[in-house]
Amino acid sequence: MPVNFEPGEGSHDGAVDIARLARHAEEAGLDSVWTGDRLASGFPVLDSSMVLAAAAAATRRIRVGYGVMLPALRAPAWAAKQIATLQHLSGGRVLLGVAVGSGEAGEWAAAGFSPKERGRRTDQFLRALPDLLAGRPTALAGAPRGARVVLAPSAPVPEVWIGGGAEASLRRAAAYGQGWLAALKTPEQLAAGAARLAELAAERGVPVPRTGLVTFVRATERPSAAAAGPVVDYLVKAQGLDRERAAALALGGGPRQVAERLREYADAGAGTLVLVPFGADTRRQYDLFAQIRSLLLDEGVAAR
């Protein structure tokens, strides 16, 4: 089971936190660790590529994922160079989540781009990425006419997961992705998105990308009806959801309680479940997530 982690945020010793958390996730038997990608959001978020490099250096097996990278905030060649470097440092363990990001003006001003360009810039990056990583001469949008970029050393193209829930994101997933990584969806909404993705893939004559879900979880040792309360508060304050919708999306409770809720998402088509931990002891959350993973596997759910 994958887990999302934002280790070291606000910490004076973030690198140690990242290494310890990544090692603990691996030792607990989890499948991957993911981190978000922001530039100037106002929240204390470390650079995603550096976080994943630290996680990769501290582990041997577990995969490291951008959940998700916002390539439109970067020059395409620089973004590709970061991904290639992480592929080399990790031994090919990178999972590349990609999304367009929100339209918050401040973050885009910090990057020097207009938020209105983010969809177009993301598509340009996804089109160029295979050639850039292969070290082939690549023409980039905005470069002088006839100019070609060649990156070295080359690196394998990682598995690409497209984030977002809009129609444009589903079309992007069908065009460029091996997976669609949804968030803040009910099981019914996830199933509808997966069905639409299958239609779009059929129109293009390509294999249907896999469906994944990022969800927010506060696991507890024992069953608890109130465990999801802090998750609800977060979704209301940070994500702007109304309380009823937040309560429908927040997961919390003992391992079996959480596994039962996740089974609903698996039945709706989610083959990959990325859990965002809530709780003062992140390592203990990882241990409880490992128990949840075992319960799902026992029920025949591929808790990848």
pLDDT digits (tens, 9 = 90+) for 264-297: 999 999 999 999 998 888 999 999 999 999 999 9
Give me the pLDDT at residue 149, please.
95
Give me the pLDDT at residue 11, please.
40
Residue ranges in the chain modelled with pLDDT below 70:
1-16, 146, 302-304
User: For the segment 243-267, what is each residue's pLDDT rounded down to a tens digit?
Assistant: 999 999 999 999 999 999 999 999 9
Give strand pairing partners of 98: 69, 162
Q: What is the DSSP letter of 2?
A: E
Unique residue bearing structure tokens 């994943």: 52
User: For the segment 40-57, what is each residue's pLDDT rounded down to a tens digit?
Assistant: 877 778 899 999 999 999
Give me the pLDDT at residue 8, please.
35
- Burial class from Cβ neighbours inside 10 Å (0-12, 13-18, 19+) for residue 27 reads middle
- 68, amino acid identity: V
Domain 2-163, CATH: 3.20.20.30
Sign for the CA dihedral angle at 295, 225, 216, 279 comes to: negative
Number of H helices, E strands in the chain: 11, 9
Domain boundary assignment for the chain: 2-163
Token output for 54 = 């630290």
What CA–CA distances, in Å, run from 242 to 1, 134, 194, 238?
Answer: 29, 45, 25, 11
Query: How many angstroms separate the CA atoms of 40 and 291, rounded?
Result: 36
Give me the pLDDT at residue 288, please.
96
- Burial class from Cβ neighbours inside 10 Å (0-12, 13-18, 19+) for residue 203 reads exposed
Contact partners, residue 141, CB within 8 Å, separation at least 6: 76, 121, 124
Query: How many angstroms separate the CA atoms of 99 and 101, rounded?
Result: 6
Give me the pLDDT at residue 12, please.
38
Contact partners, residue 178, CB within 8 Å, separation at least 6: 159, 160, 161, 209, 210
Give me the pLDDT at residue 1, please.
55
